[in-house]
Structure 1
Amino acid sequence: MLERILHIEENEDIRFVVYIALSHLGGLDLLQCRTARDALTAAPGFRPQLLLLDVMNTGVRGESIWRDLRDIAGFGDVPVIFLTACVERDMLDELTTLGALAVIAKPFDPMTLPDDLRQHWRRHRVSGPESGTPLER
């Protein structure tokens, strides 16, 4: 059962909407970080089951954050879902080829976000972490 999600997003408004959607509506344990550095520090103690990453962060792309998190012991198999305002086909294909469970377009529906994440996570658990293409290190 999906319980703990690490969310990395610079935009305070989006963090707030995700907090309401996942914590209050979805009943999930959510740790939110504004920066990659914050996430790298907080992630080991939180032990997330799923990463929810913004694709575009100041100076760092979401794929790079994911790469860095995967290098932490025990995080190699933690799946990722990306959030992005850029929904161009090339970017979606690139992220899924790298092994992302899904790419969710912004704006997203906060009312369905918890169930959407659970559905993607369950699919991952059934098919296994090896079913996706791993992000190259």
Structure 2
Amino acid sequence: MHKKFFLELKKPIRIIHFISPSDHRAFSDNSLSLQDFLQYSQEEWDKIQTKFDYHNRLRLPEYLNIFQKTGFEIEYLEFDNPKKDSFTYEKFKKIKLHDDYKDMSEEDLTAGSIIIILKKKNETI
């Protein structure tokens, strides 16, 4: 999608993303962490989620990498993380992360309410 945007949209352009990279199940089951799905391998997760309840488990650095690989630069980035003394953070800390996520920082794993504005590289308005 971003490759198509990069090639076909005329300058100057901005693309705005509002991303909620959380486990949607946590909104109806408050015993779950917003990052609960990070404890599963992809194979395990594919058995839990259904085609009607798809969850994208990408983390902040993975999004940034995708955008930059397609020729965009990040003009603006904002996100939040739970406070260390919050119930949200406590639930995150109880998760046994799958090895796929062990090399990521807590900040990257818990980044939420992400706002990203992309522009084509070397572009000015």
Name the TM-score, length of structure 1 as normaliser.
Answer: 0.27
Structure (1 or 2) with the greater helix fraction: 1
Q: Which has the larger radius of gyration?
A: 2
Name the TM-score, length of structure 2 as normaliser.
Answer: 0.28
